[in-house]
Chain A
Amino acid sequence: MYFWNCNFGRGDLLIYNWKKIVKHGIPLLTLTALIEIIAGQILQGNQSFLIGLPIFLISIPVINSIGGNIGSVLGARIASGLHVGYITLDIKDKKMHDNLITSILMGVFVYLLLSIIIYYSVLFGSIHTELKIGLIDYTIIVVGAGVLLVCIISLVSVLTAFWSFKRGLDPDDTVAPVVTTVGDTLGILLLFILIGVVV
């Protein structure tokens, strides 16, 4: 609803107008920026730790992008299901549960795979010779933070899709920005919680 501005039949010659694109984009993007700055401040607070152990600095974009992508895919699927009608607005909907569980299982697999790839790429990479953390500890932290993130983000995604649909908004427009923003902040927060528990 923010980015999609179509004005058929109002006499305007153009369907897209740069002023409308800017006007509709600013409120949502400002809100997103504000929440992302909070995520950035968490990073700044832990900056000396991150510089001492850069493997976690490398992991942050990975944790966030996977969480955001799984959440967006799930949201888009739920949205299509609601539009077409094979998913109902019910917390106990069987198809919604299937999608939710598949997302979480995909999360477990992808985080496990990528944490091992990151560990070995840093180990054999020329830039950082000393790692100061074992493969098992590192994998537990990344998979733990990642899976918790996917669980929460999947719920947020389903709830946003349901809420939007109930309100008459198109979930396709609302789910992606909500999921990326919540995911970035939560991903960074969960990573530091897991680091605190394991290290």
Chain B
Amino acid sequence: MLAKEMIRQSLPLIILCGLGGIVAGSTLGVMTDLLTSIPGLIVVIPAIIALRGNISTAFGSRLGSAYHLGIIDADNIWNIELKQNIIGTIILSFFTSIIIGFLAYISSIFIGIYPDPVKLILIVIIAGFISGLILTQLTIIIIYAVFRRGYDPDNITGPALATFGDIITMLCIFGTAILVEVIF
């Protein structure tokens, strides 16, 4: 009985996330030329996707808990608690993006590949920052819709962010890589 409930509630969401993964993967599939022309780009992709996932699900679950504690609700969403959360999330994205770019550069040198450090770190920071802004906004929209309908945000935000997060982050990396490649 327990197993049945687990399959009924989570199987559709897991399949949906997998389909989202196909869209993210296809974006990676059309990026093959960029991957060849920017050494080190492929190294940062799993890290940026994981960073986005970790930061935005933590943001989502904090907002979920804030809802349960009665700090925010549909009528009172743009308050100071939410603003503190947004500032924290964006600064955290910025710092970890720098760390990722730096680690990718150092580890590539050890392996004997010499990426352009400016290009690589710039791609990570811009892609991390833009996807951070979009996902923070998206989280607030999802949370708002969930509040309006009176659902429990804990059940919805995690899988929804996992599905959209991968796709949006992948598209941001793709766009930023093209931009940086054109400028430099």
Contacts of B103 in A (CB 8 A): 33-34, 37
Q: Tell me if A108 counts as interface (CB < 8 A to partner B).
A: no
From A30, A69, A184, B46 is in contact (CB under 8 Å) with A184
**Assembled-state Cα–Cα distance A184/B51 (Å):** 12
**Inter-chain contact A29/B96, CB cutoff 8 Å:** yes
Interface centre among A25, A72, A103, A180 (most CB of B within 10 A): A25
Query: With a CB–CB cut-off of 8 A, which chain B residues contact A169?
Result: none
Interchain CA distance A188-B19 in the complex, whole Å? 18
Question: Are the CB atoms of B44 and A62 closer together than 8 Å?
Answer: no
Q: How far is the CA of A68 from the CA of B159 in the complex (A)?
A: 11
A110/B47 in contact, CB under 8 A: no
B182 proximal to A (CB < 8 A): no
7 closest Cβ pairs, A-B complex: A21-B88, A58-B25, A40-B43, A18-B88, A62-B21, A36-B47, A18-B87
Q: Which of B7, B21, B108 contacts A44 (CB 8 A)?
A: B108
A38-58 interface (Cβ within 8 A of B) = 38-41, 43-45, 47, 50-51, 54-55, 57-58
B21, B44, B158 interface centre (most CB from chain A within 10 Å): B21
The reply on A164 being an interface residue by CB < 8 A is no
Cβ contact within 8 Å between A21 and B11: no
Q: In whole angstroms, how far apart are the Cα atoms of A16 and B58 in the complex? A: 13
Given A41-B107, A43-B42, are A17 and B84 neighbors across the interface (CB < 8 Å)?
A: yes
Knowing A4-B62, A21-B92, A26-B95 touch, does A114 contact B84 (C-beta < 8 A)? no
List 10 interface pairs A-B (beta carbons < 8 Å), by A numbering: A29-B51, A37-B107, A57-B32, A66-B21, A73-B10, A101-B3, A110-B18, A127-B26, A128-B29, A177-B54
CB contacts (< 8 Å) of A17 on chain B: these are 84, 88
Residues in A neighbouring B22, C-beta threshold 8 A: 58, 61-62, 114, 117-118, 121
Flag whether A181 is at the interface (Cβ < 8 A).
Answer: yes
Chain B interface size band reads 35 or more
Q: With an 8 A cutoff between CB atoms, is A7 at the interface?
A: no
Per DSSP, chain A at the interface is: helix
**In the docked arrangement, what's the CA distance between A127 and B28, Å?**
12
Of A15, A38, A61, A122, the contact of B28 (CB 8 Å cutoff): A61
Q: Find chain A residues with CB under 8 A from B162 CB.
A: 65, 68-69
The distance in angstroms between the C-alpha atoms of A33 and B133, with both chains bound, is 20
The distance from the CB of A34 to the nearest CB of chain B, in whole angstroms, is: 6
| A111 → chain B closest CB, angstroms | 8
Residue of B nearest to A183 (CB): B50
CB distance from A77 to the nearest CB of B (A): 7
Known A15-B69, A21-B89: A180·B53 in contact at CB below 8 Å: yes
* A32 CB to nearest chain B CB (Å): 6
B153 within 8 Å of A (CB atoms): no
Q: With both chains docked as a complex, state the minimum distance between the C-beta of A57 and any C-beta of chain B, in angstroms.
A: 5
Asked if A29 and B54 sit within 8 Å, CB to CB, the answer is: yes
Residues of B within 8 A of A30 (CB): 96, 99
Q: Would you call A18 and B2 a contact (CB within 8 A)?
A: no
Q: A44 to chain B: closest CB distance in Å?
A: 5
Contact assessment for B81 and A22 in the assembled complex, using a CB-CB cutoff below 8 Å: no
Chain A residues lying within 8 Å of B95, measured Cβ to Cβ, are 22, 26
